[in-house]
């Protein structure tokens, strides 16, 4: 860390052939376990390489999350840096039995985003003054909307298409089957897997409400 900002290491972690040939679920489990080990090292006091490796994995996603939510590059950068400060401060409290590092990190990022959103200087000049409760409620609404949009990008095109037709166009499954020219059973299967995938993606982003 230099001048309060993290410097990414150019080193790449080696990936074994076993991991490359693993199923997606196993690969994800392996990645989650590796990240948990990295955060355990941070909790033990190593704020060097383990923290840089985690930073390299998540910096862009956190920046994109902050930019979509706060709409200003400077605030997005502030969100990334503040999230990282809180991550190493909170590392001893991470429990791999209760969730992944990814979920832990995005939970912190949501809190940072809410704090930045509620800060008067983060809102446009001349904006209507809101009560603390109204600002908090609005922050939660925007955070959820952005998190859902981000989670949707992780779905396959076919699964995302079904959810968009259901929620954006208020279509019934039978209507979707007719529009897409596929059997109703196929649409039902896609909807089922899409909802499961979306729920899992939201959990990975620290949203379990």
| Residue ranges matching CATH 1.10.1740.10 in the chain | 1-138
100 vs 115: CA distance, rounded Å = 23
Pick 40 or 65 by higher pLDDT. Answer: 40
Contacts of residue 103, Cβ cutoff 8 Å, sequence gap at least 6: 203, 204, 205, 206, 208
For residue 11, pLDDT over 70 is answered with no
For residue 3, pLDDT over 50 is answered with no
Mean pLDDT within 14-30: 46
Q: Alpha carbon 169 to chain centroid distance?
A: 25
| Residue ranges matching CATH 1.10.10.10 in the chain | 154-209
For residue 83, pLDDT over 90 is answered with yes
Q: What is the pLDDT of residue 138?
A: 63
Q: What is the pLDDT of residue 208?
A: 62
What is the CATH architecture of 154-209? Answer: Orthogonal Bundle (1.10)
For residue 125, pLDDT over 50 is answered with no
Q: Pick from 76, 94, 98, 75: which is nearest to 86 by CA?
A: 94
Mean pLDDT within 139-157: 78
State the number of CA atoms in the 13 A half-sphere of 41 facing the CB: 14
Q: What is the pLDDT of residue 172?
A: 93
CATH topology of domain 1-138: Rna Polymerase Sigma Factor; Chain: A (1.10.1740)
Pick 191 or 14 by higher pLDDT. Answer: 191
| Residue 185: band (very low, low, confident or very high) from pLDDT cuts 50, 70, 90 | very high
Q: What is the pLDDT of residue 13?
A: 39
For residue 96, pLDDT over 70 is answered with yes
Do you know the residue count of the chain? 209
For residue 119, pLDDT over 80 is answered with no
Mean pLDDT within 109-130: 66
- pTM for the predicted model, two decimal places: 0.58
Average pLDDT, the chain: 78
């Amino acid at each position: 860390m230099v001048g309060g900002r993290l410097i990414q290491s150019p080193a790449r972690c080696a990936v074994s052939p076993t991991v490359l040939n693993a199923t997606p679920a196993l690969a994800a489990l392996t990645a989650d376990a590796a990240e948990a080990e990295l955060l355990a090292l941070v909790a033990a006091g190593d704020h060097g390489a383990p923290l840089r490796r985690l930073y390299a994995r998540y910096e862009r996603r956190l920046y994109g999350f902050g930019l979509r939510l706060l709409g200003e590059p400077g605030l997005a950068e502030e969100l990334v840096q503040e999230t990282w400060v809180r991550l190493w401060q909170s590392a001893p409290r991470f429990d791999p039995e209760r969730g992944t590092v990814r979920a832990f990190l995005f939970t912190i990022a949501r809190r940072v985003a809410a704090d930045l959103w509620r800060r008067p200087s983060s809102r446009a000049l001349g904006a209507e003054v809101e009560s603390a409760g109204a600002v908090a409620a609005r922050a939660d609404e925007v955070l959820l909307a952005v998190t859902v949009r981000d989670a949707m990008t992780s779905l396959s095109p076919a699964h995302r298409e079904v959810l968009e037709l259901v929620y954006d166009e208020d279509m019934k499954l039978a209507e979707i089957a007719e529009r897409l020219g596929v059997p109703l059973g196929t649409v039902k299967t896609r909807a089922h897997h899409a909802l499961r995938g979306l729920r899992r993606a939201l959990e990975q982003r620290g949203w379990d409400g």
